Amino acid sequence: MAALIRRTFPTITRYSSSHSRNVSTYKAFESSSHVREQNVGLYGFEVLDTPKGFRRFVDEAIERSGELISYVSRLPPSMEVIRTMDDISDTVCSVVDSAEFCRNTHPDREYVEEANNACMRIYDYLHFLNTNHDLYNAVSRAERQGHLHTEEAQRAAHALRVDFEKGGIHLCAEKSDRVNQLNIEIANLGRKYNENINDDPGSVDIISTSCIPKHLQRLLQPIYGSFHGKPNGQLELSKLKRHGFRVKTDPDTLSSLLKSVSDSEVRKQLYITGNSAPHANLDVLDKLIAARNELAKILGYKSYAEFAVRPNMASSPDVVWSFLCDLSETLRHKADEEFKMIRDFKRKMCNEKFADLEPWDEAYFTGMMKSCTYNLDPSIIASYFSLSQCIDGLKVLLKSLFGATFYEVPLRTGESWHPNVLKLLLHHPEEGDLGYLYLDLYSRQGKYPGCAHFAIRGGRKLSESEYQLPVVALVCNFSGSPGSSSSRLNHMEVETLFHEFGHAIHSLLSRTDYQHFSGTRMVLDLAETPSNLFEYYVWDYRVLKTFAKHHSAGDVIPKKLVEAMNGAKSMFAATELQRQIFYSLMDQTLFGKQYSTPREIQSTIADLKSQHTSWNHVNGTHSHIRFPHLINYGAGYYSYLYAKCLSATIWQEICLEDPLSPCAGDSLRTKFLRHGGAKDPSNLLKGLVGDDILREVNGGIVPNISSLCEEMNL
């Protein structure tokens, strides 16, 4: 599957040659905002004018791909081979990306079911494509015989060949079949892991209602006790008495309560339950580790971690491990100091001279310490961040940095999936239209949880004068609705919005020959860098004063408030970074060796926590059984820390002096964003900032951590 679909998570994905161009089925997103009365189809794909259109979408993609396979198998080694391969990929990805997006966001169950069926059918077809020896041989000959005249074509040929081989195409039939079976098993286990997290978040019955803050009680399920029974055992509802709350310990609820509940024993109950469910994932993860390990061994790798890391900048698990341990050692002293600060504060507040500090204390006491030190009121901060103003802030960034403007354009009949969706056109006064962005920002039942960037169509060069414009969507789950005065974000939500917007802008501003490298479709340990860079803008007063204004009074956010927010952010930065290092090491460890029992896994994770954090491991908890990044980023979670280091250097070297400078924006766009994954990642970074941004370690590449250390006063 990987050979023809290259994506980061949760989603991402050309079409060319005069021989193969046929865009009638995919005639969508013209640069005109002219409104047509007929149903243009979901996302502008005419074939998706009804839910059953997904069936035709798959049929037509398979038919079109068959024509292209026949064509490419007759070609001599040439640029045309790679171009046609990308045509096949774009044809299939049109279905994959639209179906994946639909089943995650569409409120109509019929659309969701048809999209699910389309996904299953197209993934079956992808297996046929990725085990097709005509395609593999054509790509191998093109790469080997050197008739590729551009760096991007050479990189595409190499990436396609390697990805084909990751699917086992070069192996004997028996091993190739086993690779396919394992890939199916791994996909099913990943789905089961995530389903278990949703279905069994754990719960705690809290009898004393007074320990739950009133503003959170409305979110919890009451427990009723009866003191008046009827002879037949039925309860008289009018005489039922509320006896407490049943608290589901899903991550969001758990996080809110651990920050707010003053009763230590209740926090302990919540923490242990929340970090030991769903128990079924102990077995699921054990099977997943075994399946991934077997897959890697068949393909000639020592471990799944080596299989996953080899294509990235790091190139080997040893390099990743070295980077993480160096960063851990650098942080340790400051993280220990922060731990002692929190412990001493707890002892003072509880009037207990020798009280121990436990993991369930962290959120509660750090929140209290930040509040005492900086007198921050989250509701006051949120009053400056209405959602509409935050979107205005994103527009300010685009205009200042890149000279481009977002215009709202009408949604045509049948194009949208919900009344709250907006469609924006990114336009540059000299270059013309650059791409389209859908905004689906408000929470609703059944929608993809959290925030994410989805690609619906990747950008690609059609001819010397024509470019297929990228189309992406930004999905969030903010409260309220369009025009609602209550649509205000807390600052963490603002940071998340800008993070996902960084991914979207990367996709919209890239200009690659092949959709295979469009936008975020690059090595995993570089893909998160633009999104991390965009987070910096929500902490800089020079940026915030352009859009963060009080929702009713209109006053600009006070500079002192922003300074206090930054101060609170830095108070326990080492502790938070230490946690991310632990997660990254856990990810590397789980997929770096074969474990015999879940108990052995648990012991290993407990050891990692004691070695690389200042906090105790709590017996009976299993931090690895509801960490979805183990599924999506297996052995790749370290990429977030790479991005954190890289973005810190880029910010300091390019953006810090004037974060809204057109000069800074020009450098970011021309030297980095526009190239997507089409250039060598180390050359890309060095061309942007200079050689010092990276270091070579044991044949791999790691980011320089000095900018991040300076930022954190290490």
Q: Catalytic site residues?
A: 500
**Cα dist from 81 to 35, 72, 133, 468, 658, whole Å:** 38, 6, 14, 19, 45
Longest dimension (CA), the chain: 89
**CB contact burial 174-205 (16+ within 10 A = b; e otherwise):** eebebbbebbebbeebbebbbebbeebbbbbe
DSSP 511-527: --SSGGGSTT-S-HHHH
* Tokens, residue 74: 């007759």
* Tokens, residue 453: 């960037």
DSSP 400-464: HHHS-EEEE-PPPTTT-SSTT-EEEEEEETTTEEEEEEEEEEE--TTSPSS-EEEEEE--EE-SS
* Tokens, residue 474: 């930004």
> How many Cα neighbours within 13 Å face the side chain of 435?
25
Q: List Cβ neighbours of 108 (8 Å cut-off, separation of 6 or more).
A: 51, 417
* Tokens, residue 700: 């791999």
Q: How many residues does this entry show for the chain?
A: 714
Backbone angles phi, psi at 356, to 5 degrees: -80, 155
Q: Whole-angstrom Cα distance, residue 577 to residue 107?
A: 37
| Number of CB atoms found within 10 A of residue 110's CB | 11
Residue ranges of E strands in 526-644: none
Backbone angles phi, psi at 484, to 5 degrees: -75, 135
Beta strands at 432-442 and 471-478: parallel, antiparallel or unpaired: parallel
Q: List Cβ neighbours of 553 (8 Å cut-off, separation of 6 or more).
A: none
DSSP secondary structure code for residue 490 in this structure = -
Q: List Cβ neighbours of 74 (8 Å cut-off, separation of 6 or more).
A: none
CA pseudo-torsion sign 276, 280, 281, 285: positive
Q: List Cβ neighbours of 116 (8 Å cut-off, separation of 6 or more).
A: 99, 103
Are 208 and 244 contacting, i.e. CB atoms less than 8 angstroms apart? yes
Amino acid letter, 516: H
Alpha helices in 452-572 (DSSP H): 491-509, 524-527, 529-535, 541-544, 559-571
Which secondary structure element, helix H or strand E, spans residue 711, and what is its range? Answer: helix 706-711
Beta strands at 460-461 and 203-206: parallel, antiparallel or unpaired: unpaired
**Cα dist from 152 to 149, 281, 606, 614, whole Å:** 9, 41, 45, 46
| Number of CB atoms found within 10 A of residue 270's CB | 23
Q: List Cβ neighbours of 394 (8 Å cut-off, separation of 6 or more).
A: 406, 497, 498, 501
Backbone angles phi, psi at 245, to 5 degrees: -135, 145
